[in-house]
Amino acid sequence: MSTRTASLLIVGGGQAGLATARTARTLGLTPLVLEAADQPAGSWPHYYDSLTLFSPARRSALPGAPFPGDPDRYPERDEVVAYLTGYAARLDADIRTGHRVERLARTQDGDGFQAVTAAGEVFTAPLVIAATGAFSRPYRPAPPGLESFAGTVLHSSDYRRPEPFAGKRMVIVGGGNSAVQIAIELAAVADVTLATRHPLRFMPQRIAGRDIHLWLRRTGLDTAGWARPLLTGGKGTPVMDIGTYRDTVASGNPDRRPMFDRLDGDQVIWSDGTREHVDVLLLATGYRPGVDYLAGLGALTEDGTPRHRAGVSTAVPGLGYVGLEWQRSFASATLRGVGADARHVLTRLLGRSRRNGAAAPAGDPAPVQGVRRR
pLDDT for residue 371:
38
CB atoms within 10 A of CB 148: 11
Options 3.40.190.10, 3.40.50.1100, 3.50.50.60, 3.40.50.2020; which CATH number does 3-137+287-373 get?
A: 3.50.50.60
> Could you tell me the mean pLDDT of each successive run of 10 residues in the chain, 374 residues long?
86 97 96 96 92 88 95 94 97 96 92 95 97 85 94 96 98 93 97 94 71 64 56 65 86 95 96 96 92 94 93 97 90 90 96 62 36 42
pLDDT for residue 133:
73
pLDDT for residue 40:
95
Give me the helix-helix angle, 77-90 and 15-26, nearest 10°. Answer: 30
All CATH 3.50.50.60 domain ranges in the chain, comma separated: 3-137+287-373, 141-283
- How far apart, in whole angstroms, are the C-alpha atoms of residue 367 and residue 365? 7
What DSSP element (H or E) covers 241? strand 238-241
What is the largest distance, in Å, between two alpha-carbon atoms of the chain?
69
- How far apart, in whole angstroms, are the C-alpha atoms of residue 139 and residue 313? 23
Give which of 361, 354, 345, 351 is closest to 313, Cα–Cα. 345
pLDDT for residue 226:
47
Let me know if domain 141-283 sits in CATH 3.50.50.60: yes
Q: Is the pTM of this model over 0.75?
A: yes
Beta-bridge mates of residue 312: 309, 320
Contact 23, 53 (CB under 8 A): no
Average pLDDT of the residues of the chain = 87
